[in-house]
């Protein structure tokens, strides 16, 4: 398996805005993709943006260890493990579910980079019952998915890497909603953010987003995955779409977030759901490590 080189910081100068060919979209509406996936193999996409303000706190407060939380396939937890390693912090991950005999490739790499893994029973994890005795004073706790004011503000700086005024719509994938909140915090009144949830139905997403933005009174537009069966599920249609998009544009996507995002946006455009004159920016939030769970040989990227 491909072992990423991690011992370097994310490089934001690699971010580009790539146009998807109109022949692929089957529409004249311009659709650009903000390639946050390019900044790093592992601390890719929105993960770096959501983490960097927490890392500043760790430095300012002279913390020695970083702790965070996630599932066994979490892009967040692998990004935390890599960032901790690069910055010279110890790290610990609380992982949802029992320890299996073989670790997922994500957790294997976390462990290789020095992260201590602590498995918690699913119900304890979901109720956030984390063993207090394991947490020390010089630990920095980063909430799951980087959810919090620092994560939201860090995500808002994503828009510093494009010509924000050129777009009417920003389309992003959502998990915890931290990134979407950051984007909503930065747009002007004539711009719209549309979130595409990676989860089938998520009744708390809007509340979580509004909680990060107490002064925001505008709409929170989001759609949930109705087609592919829910979180991290994929089928032949999605795999074919990913391969076709890659052939047409050289843009790789992942099965969990960005492929479903691109699929949904392009189908909305084909269905005429964006007004003429709209200029759409799709935020490529990275996450290509999500494809570790895809059977070998299905993807060409």
Ligand X SMILES: *Cc1c(COP(=O)(O)O)cnc(C)c1O
Interaction between residue 291 and ligand X (CB under 6 A): no
46 contributes a contact to ligand X by CB under 6 A:
yes
The reply to whether 177 sits near ligand X by the rule CB under 6 A is yes
Please report, as residue ranges, which positions from 218 to 277 form the binding site for ligand X (by CB under 6 A).
254, 257-258
Tell me the closest approach of the beta carbon of residue 184 to ligand X, in angstroms.
Answer: 12
Give the count of residues interacting with ligand X (CB under 6 A): 20
User: Residue with the closest Cβ to ligand X?
Assistant: 287
Instruction: Kindly list the distances between the CA atom of residue 75 and the CA atoms of 45, 80, 81, 147, 206, in Å, as whole numbers in the listed order.
Output: 10, 9, 10, 14, 22
Spatial separation of the C-alpha atoms in residues 29 and 32, rounded to whole Å: 10
Find the binder of ligand X among 10, 45, 70, 71 (CB under 6 A). 45
What is the contact mask toward ligand X in residues 184 to 223, using x (rule: CB under 6 A)? ----------------------------------------
Contact 98, 121 (CB under 8 A): yes
Q: Does the footprint of ligand X cover residue 154 (CB under 6 A)?
A: no
DSSP label at 2?
Answer: -
φ, ψ at 296 (rounded to 5°): -55, 140
CB of 136 to ligand X, least distance (A): 27
Contact 299, 282 (CB under 8 A): no
At its nearest, how many Å lie between ligand X and the CB of residue 47? Answer: 6
Using CB under 6 A as the binding rule, whether residue 145 contacts ligand X is answered as yes
Given the complex with ligand X, which of 68 and 178 has the nearer CB atom? 178
Residue whose C-alpha is closest to residue 27's, from 297, 228, 280:
280
Told to check if 173 binds ligand X by CB under 6 A, we report yes
State which residue, 90 or 231, has the beta carbon closest to ligand X: 231
Give the single-character DSSP code of 99. P
* Residue 72 within binding range of ligand X, rule CB under 6 A: no
Distances (CA, A) of 239 to 49, 59, 134, 170, 200: 28, 41, 42, 24, 18
In the bound state with ligand X, the residue whose beta carbon lies nearer, of 225 and 254, is 254
75 binds ligand X per the rule CB under 6 A: yes
- Contacts by 265-270 with C-beta closer than 8 Å and gap 24+? 265/31, 265/171, 265/194, 265/196, 266/20, 266/24, 266/25, 266/31, 269/25, 269/27, 269/29, 269/31, 270/25, 270/26, 270/27
- Return all residues near 168 (Cβ < 8 A) that are at least 6 apart: 190, 191, 192, 277, 278, 279, 280
Determine if 178 is a binding residue for ligand X (CB under 6 A).
Answer: yes
Q: Among the candidate windows 105-113, 126-134, 240-248, 281-289, which touches ligand X by CB under 6 A?
A: 281-289
Binding site for ligand X (CB under 6 A): 45-47, 75-76, 145, 173-180, 254, 257-258, 285-287
């Amino acid at each position: 398996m491909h072992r990423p080189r991690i011992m370097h910081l994310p490089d934001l100068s690699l971010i580009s805005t790539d146009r998807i060919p109109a022949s692929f979209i089957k529409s004249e509406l311009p659709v650009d993709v903000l390639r946050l996936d390019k900044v790093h193999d592992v601390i890719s996409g929105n993960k770096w943006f959501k983490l960097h303000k927490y890392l500043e706190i760790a430095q300012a407060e002279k913390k020695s260890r970083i702790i965070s939380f996630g599932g066994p396939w979490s892009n967040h937890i692998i990004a935390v493990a890599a960032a901790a390693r690069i910055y010279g912090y110890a790290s610990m991950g609380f992982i949802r579910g029992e320890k299996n005999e073989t670790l997922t490739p994500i957790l294997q790499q976390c462990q290789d980079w020095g992260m201590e893994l602590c498995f918690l029973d699913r119900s304890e994890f979901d109720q956030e019952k984390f063993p207090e005795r394991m947490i020390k004073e010089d630990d920095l706790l980063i909430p799951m998915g980087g959810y919090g004011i620092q994560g939201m503000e860090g995500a808002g700086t994503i828009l510093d890497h494009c010509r924000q005024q050129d777009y009417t719509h920003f389309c992003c994938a959502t998990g915890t909603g931290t990134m979407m909140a950051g984007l909503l915090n930065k747009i002007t009144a004539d711009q719209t953010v549309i979130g595409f949830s990676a989860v089938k139905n998520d009744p708390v997403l809007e509340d979580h987003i509004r909680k990060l933005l107490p002064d925001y009174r505008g709409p929170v537009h989001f759609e949930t995955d109705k087609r592919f069966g829910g979180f991290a599920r994929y089928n032949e249609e999605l795999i074919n779409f990913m391969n076709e998009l890659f052939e047409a544009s050289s843009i790789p996507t992942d099965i969990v977030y960005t492929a479903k995002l691109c699929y949904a946006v392009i189908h909305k455009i084909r269905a005429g759901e964006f007004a003429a004159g709209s200029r759409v920016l799709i935020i490529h939030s990275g996450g290509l490590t999500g494809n570790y769970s895809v059977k070998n040989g299905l993807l060409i990227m």
